[in-house]
Chains A and B, each alone.
Chain A
Amino acid sequence: MLTNERLCRLHFRSRDLPRVRIEVEECAAWAGLAEPRRGEFVVAVDAVVTNAVEHAGGSGRLLLRQLGAELECQVEDYGPGFSEDVIPELAPGVAGAPAGRGLWLARLITDRLTVAPRCEGSGPGTVVTLAMRLPTG
């Protein structure tokens, strides 16, 4: 059930990407995340979801929550699994290899991004968690 804390939960495939963005933008606005940070959050979430669609099994699950003064998005995929090592440390640059660029940007834009395996016993896959601080007051 959705609450003021649990803002949005949905399964996604490639065709759902526009709806994912609409829902994330709306919930981020509801939580008080203003432009331009809201638009950047949507770009970051899209990059992580796109990674799941393209490279990690083709589908996944998204959970958006407001946790205190933070807006947190968890994207779970059912792919073979990956670690933070796939994210380049430095800016890939225009000529750089495309691998990990979306995740690199998502980490740059957000205040927190972590990569972890899905819970033990839930099968292969990865959970990427990204969060942005909400304005106070």
Chain B
Amino acid sequence: MLHGGEAVCDARTIPVQGIRPGDHAFVAYGGAGAPVQWDVLGAFVRQGLIAGEKVLVLLAPEPYGDDLIDRLHARTPAVERAWQRGQLQLTSMRRLIRPARTFSVERQWRRLAEETRDAVREGYAAVRAYIDMAWMAEFDADLDTVLWRERRSGHLFDERCYSEVCAYDERSFPADVLDAVAELHPRTLLSSVGALHAVHGDAPARAPSAPSAAPVPWVRMIGEADVRTFREFAQALRAVLFRGVTRASVGVTVDLTALHFLSAGCAAWLLRLCAESIDPHAVGGRTAAAHDAYGVHAGALRGVTLCCTRHQARLLRRLGASGVRSLTLTVPEGCGC
């Protein structure tokens, strides 16, 4: 569901940098939060090049290649070389399905499968495609066909050699259509690069010693935590810690695995707030006034679990995480980077 120009975040929401082979994602642009698509597209392209994937950009109308590179602010040696050798290709739906003149789902699927097979044969790790759905107007394609396509295109992603972002201009599609389309995609992207969103929830308590304990509040951070988004980061942390305290739960969980970036400043502040919430003496027995400033009741929490990537765990340990009593770092399988 779109809300104020931004898709409402849920467990499916990831930043564009989190796209991996096999992902099929929806993104909206043209709203207040993301008036243009170039930032998201730029990050999508560059992340693909870093991963050694072939990158297809399908726009409508198809701009000149130089225009695209300029709009992406991407005149770096890596992008220039990828452009010259064909690793980065600017194309369009019209060009993709040629020589067919009319759109058919089957033709599009066949061509995308061919592109993927050829690219993998050439040595690329995978193919990723960014498809601006403005092509629909060009072909006068009806919405039901596209919805049918989005619903049944799972086979394209089964082998995890292909990923796709379908970008919808909010000015061209009614809100209820965008809601329906977003639902059909396993992933939804944050509509701007550098944003941070938090999703709150509760998990059943699993402590054997406290079978009837209150649920464990958790928060999932999505996007980028840095000096620009510090306020949202801090607010979300305070909120989950406050819920943990007021519900007398066994602890709280902070899930950082959907963060593409965690800055040193945010990581340090996270540790300090956790330490204060668990044991104020660990941070020098701060005053009540200071506790109020953090917005949580200091020392009232029994433990905090930080669910993080290996990279984040290393950063947090360097900043002193192992010295915070009752703070647990867990790295789920598949969160190696």
A contact residues vs B (CB 8 Å cutoff) = 2-4, 7-8, 14-15, 17-19, 21-23, 25-27, 29-30, 35-36, 39-40, 42-43, 46-47, 50, 53-54, 91-95, 98, 101-102, 105-106, 108-109
Minimal beta-carbon separation of B40 from chain A (angstroms):
11
Interfacial residues of chain B within 239-292, with CB under 8 A of chain A in the complex: 261-265, 268-269, 271-272, 275, 282-284
Interfacial chain A residues near B42, Cβ < 8 Å = 19, 22
CA distance A8 to B46 in the complex (A): 14
Also in contact, A43 and B315, with CB within 8 A (given A94-B282, A98-B265, A101-B264): yes
Contact surface of B with A, Cβ cutoff 8 Å: 17, 39, 42-43, 46, 49-50, 73, 75-79, 193-194, 224, 226-228, 261-265, 268-269, 271-272, 275, 282-284, 310-311, 314-315, 318-321, 323-324, 337
Candidate in A23, A42, A47, A94 with the most chain B CB atoms within 10 angstroms: A94
Query: Closest Cβ of chain B: how far from A1's Cβ, in Å?
Result: 10
Instruction: State whether B311 touches A22 (Cβ < 8 A).
Output: no
Distance in Å from the Cβ of B71 to the closest Cβ of chain A?
Answer: 13
Which A residue sits closest to B275, measured CB to CB? A94
Task: Provide the residues of chain B in CB contact with A54, threshold 8 Å.
Answer: 227
- 27 CB < 8 A contacts A-B: A2-B76, A7-B77, A14-B227, A15-B228, A18-B226, A19-B73, A22-B17, A26-B50, A27-B77, A29-B49, A30-B77, A30-B78, A39-B311, A40-B314, A40-B315, A43-B263, A46-B261, A47-B263, A47-B264, A47-B265, A54-B227, A91-B318, A94-B271, A94-B321, A95-B275, A98-B269, A109-B318
Whole-angstrom distance between the alpha carbons of A94 and B324 in the complex? Answer: 8
Q: Kindly provide the distance from the CB of B117 to the nearest chain A CB, expressed in whole angstroms.
A: 26
Residues from chain A with a CB closer than 8 A to the CB of B337 are 35-36, 39
Instruction: Point out the residues of chain A lying under 8 angstroms from B323, CB to CB.
Output: 93-94
List the B side residues contacting A46 at CB < 8 Å.
226, 261, 263-264
Pair A17/B49 contact, Cβ less than 8 Å: no
CB-defined contacts of A4 to chain B, threshold 8 Å: 77
Are A18 and B284 interface neighbours, CB within 8 A?
no
- A47 to B266: give the CA distance in the assembly, Å: 11
Apart from A22-B43, A30-B77, 8 more pairs, CB < 8 Å:
A19-B193, A36-B311, A43-B315, A54-B227, A92-B320, A94-B268, A95-B272, A102-B265
